Amino acid sequence: MGGEVAAVRVEGLSRRYGAVRALDDVSVDLRRGVTGLLGPNGAGKTTLMTVLATVNEPDTGRVSVFGLDPANGAERVEIRRRLGYLPQELSFHRHFSVAGFLDYVAILKEIVDRRRRAEEVARVLSAVGLENLAGRRVRSLSGGMRQRLGVAQALLGGPDLLVLDEPTAGLDPEQRLRFRELLSDLPGGPVVLLSTHQVDDISAICPRVLVLLGGRVRFAGSPAELAATADGHVWTADERDPRALLSWRAGDSRWRHLGQHPPEGAEVVLPTAEEGYLLLSHAVDQPATAAPRWRPARRRTR
C-alpha cells in the first residue's frame, strides 16, 4: 500500500464555525478500499466528510479528488459524477415510494435514460435487501430500512468515491453484517470513507483507520496498529482499579481496565482497536499526569 498513489488527498484543511474550530490543519490521503473514520461527537468527522462530498468549503487547505479540484466549478461537477454520499442526517420526501425516491436521486446523478434508471434502482435495492419494498412509501419504513435506503442512494451509479457518514447507525446486527459484506464486495474497488462509532465495524472491514480528535488527525494506520497503541495499557483484575481511566466488567465477570500505568504485577492483556481508540481519545482529553478516575466508556449504545 505504501507506493500506491492516493486517490483523494487533503492538505492543511481547516474549517471554523464561529469560534469553533471544526477542522485544524488536517492532512490525509485516501486510497482505494475502505478507510474508517473514528472520533467522538464534535471531533470534525462530519465537516471533513461534507468537504469531501463538495457541499462544504474549507477556510484553508487543498483537496484533490482523483486529481480534480473541487474549488473549480467544472471539476467539482466531475467529482460529483463519481461520488456517492450518505449524509449523517438524511431526510426523505416522505410521499415518495422507495423506488420513486431512488429514481429521483438517480436523475440528480444524471442517469437520464428511464430503463437504465430502473435497472440501477433495482440493482441498489437488491444490494441493500430492500427489493421487495420498492413500492412502499418512505414514510412507512422503519429507521433501519431508511438507513439502508440512504446507503442504496449512495450506491447509485457505481461511484468511485463513497462518503458514508455513520451508515450503520440504526442497523441491527444482521443488517450490519450485510452492510460489511456489501462494502467488501463493491465492484470496481472504490475509495470509501466510512464514519462510525462502531469500532468493531471498522476493525472488520477497514484496512485503514483515521482517528480525528478535536479537529486534528491523531492516528492513521491499520486497526491492528490502533490496537497496538494500547499495548501494555489494558489489564484485568478481580476488583475495580480506581487508578484506571476506564473500567468495565467483562463477560467473564472480571474487571477490565484501561489506563496509562497498570499497577505492578497486573495481568496485562492484549488490547482491542476500540481500547486503542479510547486510550487515544483520553490522552488528548487530559494530560497523562491527571488524577486517575473512573469515567464511563464513550460508547454509543443502540
Partner 1 sequence: MTNAPPEKGGPASRGAGHVSEHVLSAYVGASVDEVVAWSVEAHVTACPACRLALSAHVDPDHLARNRSVLFVRAATGEHHPARRLLGHVGVPDQLVTLMAATPSLRRSWLLSVVGVIAVVSGESVLVHHLSSSSLAVGRPDWGALAPFILVAPLTVLAGVAAAFLPALDPTHQLAAAAPFSGLGLLLVRTLSALVAALVPVVAAAFVIPGPAWLPVALLLPCFALCFLALAAVTVIGPMPAALLAGAMWVLPVALLSVWHSVTAVVQWPAQASWAAALLAALVVLAMRRDRFELGWRP
Take residue 151 and report the three cell numbers written for it: 446507503
Would you count residue 61 as binding partner 1 (CB under 8 A)? no
- Residues 262-291 interacting with partner 1 (rule: CB under 8 A): none
Are 180 and 151 in contact by the 8 Å Cβ rule? The answer is: no
Minimum Å gap between C-beta 126 and partner 1 is 6
Would you count residue 83 as binding partner 1 (CB under 8 A)? yes
Would you count residue 69 as binding partner 1 (CB under 8 A)? no
Nearer to partner 1 among residue 142 and residue 286 (C-beta): 142
- Applying CB under 8 A, which part among 75-83, 169-177, 205-213, 276-284 lies near partner 1? 75-83
Minimum Å gap between C-beta 90 and partner 1 is 7
Minimum Å gap between C-beta 136 and partner 1 is 8
What is the C-alpha to C-alpha distance for residues 23 and 123, in angstroms, rounded to an integer?
Answer: 36
Would you count residue 56 as binding partner 1 (CB under 8 A)? yes
Would you count residue 194 as binding partner 1 (CB under 8 A)? no
Would you count residue 76 as binding partner 1 (CB under 8 A)? yes
- Applying CB under 8 A, which part among 77-85, 243-251, 253-261, 289-297 lies near partner 1? 77-85
Minimum Å gap between C-beta 110 and partner 1 is 5
Sign of CA dihedral 20, 26, 31, 35: negative
Are 101 and 60 in contact by the 8 Å Cβ rule? The answer is: no
Nearer to partner 1 among residue 157 and residue 276 (C-beta): 157
Would you count residue 300 as binding partner 1 (CB under 8 A)? no
Would you count residue 114 as binding partner 1 (CB under 8 A)? yes
Fill in the per-residue mask, 152 to 171: x = in contact with partner 1 (CB under 8 A), - = not in contact.
-x------------------
What is the C-alpha to C-alpha distance for residues 13 and 25, in angstroms, rounded to an integer?
Answer: 5
Would you count residue 147 as binding partner 1 (CB under 8 A)? no
Nearer to partner 1 among residue 105 and residue 141 (C-beta): 105
What is the C-alpha to C-alpha distance for residues 196 and 169, in angstroms, rounded to an integer?
Answer: 8
Residues within the interface to partner 1 (CB under 8 A) = 50, 53-57, 73, 76-78, 80-81, 83, 85, 87, 90-100, 102-105, 107-110, 112, 114-115, 118-119, 121-122, 125-126, 131, 134-135, 153
